[in-house]
Every structure is written in structure tokens, then in C-alpha cells.
Amino acid sequence: MARWLIPLVLGGASATGFEPLGWWWMTLLCFAGLIALIERAATLPRALWSGWWFGLGHFTIGLNWIATAFYFQDAMPHWLGWIAVVLLSLYLAVYPAAATGLAWRWGRLSLIPLSFIFAAAWLVTEWLRATMFTGFAWNPLGVTFVGVASIARWIGTYGLSAIVIISAGAVAAAGAGRWRQALALTLPAVITLIVFAAAPRPPAAPKAPQIHVVQPNINQNEKQSEELAARNMARLVRLTGPSPGRPRLIMWPEAAVPYYLEQEAWARSGLARLLRSGDLLLTGGDALVYDRDGNLMAARNSLFALDASGRILARYDKSHLVPYGEYLPMRPLLSAIGLSRLVPGDLDFLPGPGPQSYALPGFASAGIQICYEIIFSGHVVDESHRPDFLFNPSNDAWFGEWGPPQHLAQARLRAIEEGIPIIRSTPTGISAVIGADGRVLGSIAWHHAGAIATTLPSPLPPTPFARLGNILPFLFATALTAIAIAVRRRSR
């Protein structure tokens, strides 16, 4: 029993390093325990199973917020939420298993090469997890170090995850009383963090545009109620407030308006009355898709930019959709057995073309990443037209207490990697203004209504990661592997 129970418990406890608990030290201790299990494994299958059971616990606890989404979809039984979390974790655990198997196969002769190979393997398998089968990039290990994550501008989030593994190797060595190995593993991690930690602070812009970020505190069950639609809109209007005289860029959450803005002119006119000359409103809403014969066939999860005359200046369509959330794979089969997607409605959403930048007259160039899209490292910016900031309208009202702070932490990593400020507006929180160095400059707490009235933070020059993307973490993985091979040969 201990063969599976110990790694399962270690994996579950390791997830407490993510928000909202943020116990990064627990993550280090648990990964140190996993490294000890790999080192002591007598066979490759035993190492693989240790990694798999660890991953099962790690993802089941870290992704517990997914289960709460099922409470807002009466078309499916609510208890199915926890089954979905476990089933997803059964698959995701394959990636830690692969990393532990590689570490055992190529690094088991000594703790130093084992730790370096494990770090490189975790980096690669974490990237694979974010890529395979549309990808699921949630909670990369590096996000537990978000407080000291400036190095991500050089080696990206996946490289930061490797630093976590190397640090855990140092803890494992210290726990076994192997102080020379602990020092040898600690020094590279500490030196790397210190050398690359000095990120430039974004310059203050004396005439920066005025922004107004709204969080209405409308829960998911309230949002889906037709009887509360008027009250919900009134709350958005009240929190938007009157214009102070200076043009504002007003930001509302994902799917904030229940209207089809392209078809319903009266809805555009009503929103335009909130704006003064020079103001712009960025709001989430749905766009309808028709076939050549004019028949309604699908929808898009979109972000609209409206001016004070009610014109739609731009529309961004979400590209990276959530399977089972915004569309139902194999719909004829799954709908026949009573399953549905989590977002209510019979129409599936269609994906948009990917990251795009939009010039907003009187303000700045904006990139849009709707909700889930912001978690994909290296895939959030239109590289040919680098924006001045990213707007991340989200709807985290589905996801309990753990999902929103985890989402915010990952958005902070995107800001650091790209050197671009990120603005988040969500119905129930956590809405925030994030500087280009990853600092949270202003936020509204979970389940509080409010607005952030401030100026738009300045971007930094393109970071090394912004220029080269995930080539950099792969180069880092190659360097770690080379060091591990050299140490192995010397130890022989």
C-alpha cells in the first residue's frame, strides 16, 4: 500500500503551494520526497508508478475548483464534477510519470544528475501537457514561485518550473545529510534567481490613459437568471459611474452583456449612453454565426469595443476554447447519453483566429485574451503587432475559492514573460491591474463589487522571452541535461 499511498499523499500536499494557500515550502518538501522515491526505486516501472500516483494527488487537489463548475449546470448531475476532476487527473498524471521515468533512467546514479534530469524532463513534459490534445496548461509548477518570478522573462514559466525542481533536489539532499550535494544544487538555483531577478521597473507615463475596471459581483447562478438580467445590468452601470471628464477606457468582464450587440442596435445605443465623447467600452458578449443560407449554426465568445456613438470598433473572438465548457467534443455521441457542455445553451462556440492587437483610438494598442487563454505561455501576444497591454476579461464565477487566485497568479507570469501590463475584469473576482513586471497594482477581492479607476501601466521593452518564446526554456532544459551528463561521467 505504501508504494502508492506515499506518493499520492505527497502529490496532494504539493498542490498547496498554489494559490490560494501559497505554501511554496510545502511544494518543495513534497517534491523533495518524490525525488527521494525516484532515487530509491529499484526498477523503472516503480519509478513510473511513483510519478503517476504523485501526479494524481497533485492534480486532483490543485484542480478541485473544476468540480464547482458543475453546480451551475443542471443539465448534468452535480456529483459528476468530482468524477470529472479525478478522470482529468488520471490523464494529467501521465506527464509527471514520464518525467520521473526519465529522471530514473538517466540520472539515478547520483542525486545531482537526477535532479537536473528531472528538472529538464518536468519542463518538457509540462510544455507537452500544455500542448497535447488542445492543451491544459493550468497550474505550471513555476507559478508557486510567482513572488520571485522575474527570471521568467529569460527562461519562461516552464524554465521557472525547472528551478522549483532543482530547489526541491537541494532540499532532498539536505534532508539526507548530503550537504555538498545540497550546496551544489542550491548554488545554481540561487545564482540564477539573483542574477536574473533584477527586472527593470516600467516607466511612469505622465499622460497615461485613464482606465476603469468593473467587477459587479454577479455570481454564475445570478448571471443565468433571466429575472435578474435587469438588476445585473443596473449593477454594471452603477459601478461604471459618470465620466470624470477625461476620456476613459471602461472594461467589463467576459460575457458581461446578455445581448447580441451586432444584431441589436437598441442594445448598442443603451450602452453608448454610458459613454462620453472619447470614452470606449470593452465588454464581453456573444457573437452569432450563420451559414450561407442564413441559418443560425454556432456562436463565438467575443470581446467588443464600442465608442460613444454605439459603433463597434473591433471584435475579438476567443481562440482557445475550453473543451466540455464551451463546446462538446463528439457532440452526437455524448449528447445522446445525456451529457452537455457547462456553458448553458444548445450552440457550441467556434474558435477565433488567435492573438490579435487592436488600435483603440485615443488610448493604446490592446491585445485580448479571454479568460482561459491567458494561461498559455508563449501564445498570448500577436508577435507581428506587439500591443501596449493585454486585456483579460474572464468569468471565474464558476470556480469557487481556488480557481480565481490561481488564474490571477498565472496572469502575473504572462505579464513578466512578455513585459506587458495585463488588466483583468471578472464578474466575482479577482479583477486586477497587473504591471509589466508582474506586480499587482490594484485589485478587487473575490466576491466584492467595485471598480478600479487608475491609469494604464506602461509596457517594458520586449523581454528575451517575448522575442524568442519557448525556445528559451528548451535551451535551459538542454543545458541542464548537458550538466547532468557531465556530472554522471565524472562520478563514474
The model's confidence at residue 150, banded by pLDDT at 50, 70 and 90, is confident
Closest C-alpha among 116, 101, 191 to residue 476: 116
pLDDT in tens, 67-89: 887 776 655 566 677 888 898 89
Catalytic site residue from 19, 30, 39, 371: 371
Closest C-alpha among 135, 141, 165, 284 to residue 218: 284
Catalytic residue flag (residue 254): yes
Q: What is the CA radius of gyration of the chain?
A: 23
pLDDT in tens, 127-141: 999 999 888 999 999
d(Cα 350, Cα 297) in Å, to the nearest integer? 10
Mean pLDDT throughout 360-386?
Answer: 93
Output 389 or 67, whichever has higher pLDDT.
389
pLDDT in tens, 397-440: 878 889 999 999 999 999 999 999 999 999 998 999 999 999 99
Catalytic residue flag (residue 371): yes
Q: What is the DSSP letter of 458?
A: P
| Domain assignments of the chain as residue spans, ordered by start | 2-200+469-491, 210-460
| pTM, rounded to two decimals | 0.91
Catalytic site residue from 318, 373, 417, 418: 318
Pick the CATH number of 210-460 from 3.40.640.10, 3.40.50.300, 3.30.70.580, 3.60.110.10: 3.60.110.10
d(Cα 238, Cα 451) in Å, to the nearest integer? 10
Catalytic site residue from 39, 126, 222, 254: 254
Catalytic residue flag (residue 318): yes
3-state secondary structure (DSSP) of residue 323: strand
